[in-house]
Structure 1
Amino acid sequence: MMQIIVLTIFIAVTFYGCVSPKKNDGKIHVLATTGIIADILSNSLDSSFVVESLMGPGVDPHLYKASAKDVGLLSSADIIVYNGLHLEGKMTEILKKVGRHKMVIAVSDGIPESSLMSLAEDIHDPHIWFDISLYSKGLQHIYMTLNRHYPIQAKSSRNKYEKYLKKLNDMHVWTKQRIELIPAKQRILITAHDAFGYFGRAYGMRVVGLQGISTVAEFGIQDIMRLSALIKQYSIRSIFIESSVPKRSIESVMYNVQASGGSVCIGGQLFSDALDSKSKKAGTYLGMLESNVQTIVSSLK
């Protein structure tokens, strides 16, 4: 079935004029796969660019499958920007095919391989946005690519882009300061899946997930027992659910700890792979980061 969808979209994109003609508004249309990417671009590019997101609030990019409804967006975009490192795993073939006909940019291409967290040979953790300084390099890569191909429009965006880079750096510094409020022995972050590895490395926390780096991975009783033992060993007070992952996974750990005489509670909801709705605080990249840090610190310090 997936092969049929890929073929359908490829044919439609190849002959996009029959499906969704490009808008003749004189603007450069950028399609980002995730809301996080769309937000950093919207905050960095001026009105010469129109930025849209393929995935909406709360959508898990690990599980996302492009549908025939996405053909119009894919075909009418001048540029497609995606995370890379197999975050959009079910869109890999589609992005590869579309890339033969238009500009496709991976945020992760701007990050040195030596800075990526390796999971196995040729496999890296894709959740790069949780190290803000690292993600800034990805944004710089996008901007420099646009500058080579659209120098006039990129130049008009430069001031906005540089101001946003400053905001990212400020958030990076603030995050370090806030995490330091948690006593060192209590800096253990337990979540539904391993999305926070870069966060832990950048800001000094031990991070443990019930599932692997992808929500596609399943968990079993041994995983629950492993985390339960860790919680009791270190007297961890709070564990966290994620907005884009069913809460039953982490709740099963809580119930197991409580059933065996231990004590732990849900410390709150973290935003991992997707933003909240635009009207909410966590509906932006910076807002999501601030919300997560405040939830973690208030629950663990």
Structure 2
Amino acid sequence: MSSSFAQIPAERRALVTNHHVFGYLAQRFGFRVIGAVIPGGTTLASPSAADLKELADAIRTANVPAIFADSSQPDRLVQALASESGVQVEVIELFTESLTEPGQGAADYLEMMQANTERITRGSADEPILER
């Protein structure tokens, strides 16, 4: 993880996720957490229109190229946020809440972390495209 994330320039180490689950990773590897689509510590919360606008503004300001969404959660809100952000933002699925069956990307903890590292590294390397 260290060598992969070291390839990302410091100014590109920005995370937007569908809920707050990567604080530990952000702190350890020098990422800024720009925000989460679902506010608070529970996946049962619902963001308001003002919450989504505020996060969309933060995504534009920080030039975030990707939003990382949990593969086990519906991504309807994440897709809406990506649409509202004013930049072409890729939505990339990460494994966060459970492992997968063998052969599906996260059969054990190490495979999950390797997949997430590759996806975060790739997503952080992309340049955002301003739409408006």
TM-score by length of structure 2 reads: 0.85
Q: Give 2:122's aligned amino acid.
A: S
Q: Once the 2 structures are TM-superposed, how far is the Cα of residue 267 of structure 1 from its aligned partner?
A: 4.0
Partner Cα separation in structure 2 for residue 223 and residue 276 of structure 1: 32
Query: Residue 273 of structure 1 corresponds to which residue in structure 2?
Result: 97
Query: Residue 222 of structure 1 corresponds to which residue in structure 2?
Result: 50
User: 1:3-18, aligned counterparts within 5 Å?
Assistant: none
SS at match of 2:8: coil
Q: 8 Å contact 1:215–1:245 — kept in the other structure?
A: no
User: 1:89-168, aligned counterparts within 5 Å?
Assistant: none
Query: Residue 37 of structure 2 corresponds to which residue in structure 1?
Result: 210
Partner Cα separation in structure 2 for residue 255 and residue 295 of structure 1: 21
Q: Deviations over 1:150-186 (max 9, x none)?
A: xxxxxxxxxxxxxxxxxxxxxxxxx122111111111
Query: Residue 114 of structure 2 corresponds to which residue in structure 1?
Result: 290
Q: Give 1:285's aligned amino acid.
A: Y
Query: Residue 4 of structure 2 corresponds to which residue in structure 1?
Result: 178
- Aligned alpha-carbon RMSD (Å): 1.4
Runs of 4+ in 1 over 4 A off after TM superposition: none
Query: Residue 63 of structure 2 corresponds to which residue in structure 1?
Result: 235
Q: Matched residue pairs, number?
A: 123
Bigger radius of gyration, 1 or 2? Answer: 1
Ranges in structure 2 where 5+ consecutive residues have no aligned partner: 126-132
Percent of aligned pairs with the same amino acid: 28
Ranges in structure 1 where 5+ consecutive residues have no aligned partner: 1-174
Q: Give 2:44's aligned amino acid.
A: V
Q: 8 Å contact 2:66–2:90 — kept in the other structure?
A: yes
SS at match of 2:99: coil
Partner Cα separation in structure 2 for residue 176 and residue 267 of structure 1: 23
